[in-house]
Amino acid sequence: MANFNWAYIDCSSSAASDGGAYGPTGSVQFMSASGNSTGSANFLFHSGAHKGYTANTLLLTGTMHINGALYANEYHVQNVTEASGSTFFGNSNTDVHLRTGSMTVALSSSTPILNVSTTTERVTVRGFAGRYTPVTASLFTSSNAMYLIGVTTGSSVEMRIHAANTAGSGAILVIKDEVASRAGTITVSSSGTTKIDGQGFYQLSGSHPAISLYSNGVNWFVY
């Protein structure tokens, strides 16, 4: 015949010793100092919509430090008080970055280099350098990527300006003859139906001549 013994089971409920899960509904469990699983109203996961938050939302109240990388498909921030180190935006030429409001770019000494004001609708820069393109061939065509064009070849040059509707309204070109004694002429002509001050072309002559042009999106004009 089998022998039977007895066992004592303590079924009393104690948050400090029974190993159960504690905290408010939706609280993410973590190990407490006493070795038990517990939760906090400051760290919640809601599987359903809750107080204006969509379903499957993790809520953290307080400060979080991350040692490593944070990856997210969308990143919404209300206020950024400090961001140290280098910052990189975008990984494709088709990316678009939109910033609403004023912006200042400054040295670590707080000396402003660039300021964009939504109040005055003005951009202020401490110093400016436009892209420089040298012309070394007798036939040359400008493009949207150009601003300052310097003719360095001493022979005659035919320079065709890209269409004003391609350049867009407000585009600026500055063309300068950098050769002291030119054996020929510099002819600046328009493309397609585009005109330069109503003319099909301009000829630069004299000692170190220059011409500054702006586009209204339809034609080019000398200024």
pLDDT in tens, 146-195: 999 999 999 999 999 999 999 999 999 999 999 998 888 999 999 889 99
Could you give the CA distance from residue 68 to residue 197 in angstroms, rounded to a whole number? 59
CA-closest candidate to residue 174, choices 120, 215, 139: 215
Residue 147 in contact with residue 130, Cβ under 8 Å?
yes
Full-model pTM: 0.70
Residue 131 in contact with residue 144, Cβ under 8 Å?
no
Q: Decide which of 135 and 53 is more confident.
A: 135
In terms of C-beta density within 10 A (0-12 exposed, 13-18 middle, 19 or more buried), how is residue 73 classed? exposed
Could you give the CA distance from residue 119 to residue 111 in angstroms, rounded to a whole number? 20
Calculate what percentage of the chain has a pLDDT beyond 70: 91
Ramachandran assignment for 77, one of left (phi > 0), alpha (psi -120 to 50 degrees), beta (any other) = beta
Q: Give the per-residue pLDDT at 19.
A: 59
Residue 201 in contact with residue 186, Cβ under 8 Å?
no
What Cα–Cα distance (Å) separates residue 30 from each residue in 50, 90, 137? Answer: 22, 36, 72
Q: Give the per-residue pLDDT at 117.
A: 96
Helix (H, G, I), strand (E, B) or coil at 89: coil
For residue 197, name the pLDDT band (cuts at 50, 70, 90): very high
Mean pLDDT of 25-43: 89
For 98, the enclosing helix (H) or strand (E) is none
Residue 61 in contact with residue 40, Cβ under 8 Å?
no
Q: Decide which of 102 and 85 is more confident.
A: 102
Residue 25 in contact with residue 45, Cβ under 8 Å?
no
CA-closest candidate to residue 202, choices 193, 190, 192: 190
Kindly list the structural domains of the chain, giving each domain's residue range(s) and its CATH number in brackets, ordered by start: 10-82 (no CATH), 101-128 (no CATH), 132-222 (2.60.120)
Q: Is the pLDDT of residue 16 over 80?
A: no
Amino acid at the residue 92: S
Q: Give the per-residue pLDDT at 94.
A: 95
Task: Give, in degrees to the nearest 5, the angle at Cα 50 between 48 and 56.
Answer: 40
* Sequential DSSP letters for 145-212: T-SEEEE--SS-EEEEEPPHHHH-EEEEEEEEE--SS-SS-EEEEE-TT--BTTBSEEEE-SSS-EEE
pLDDT in tens, 201-217: 999 988 899 999 999 99
Q: Is the pLDDT of residue 127 over 70?
A: yes
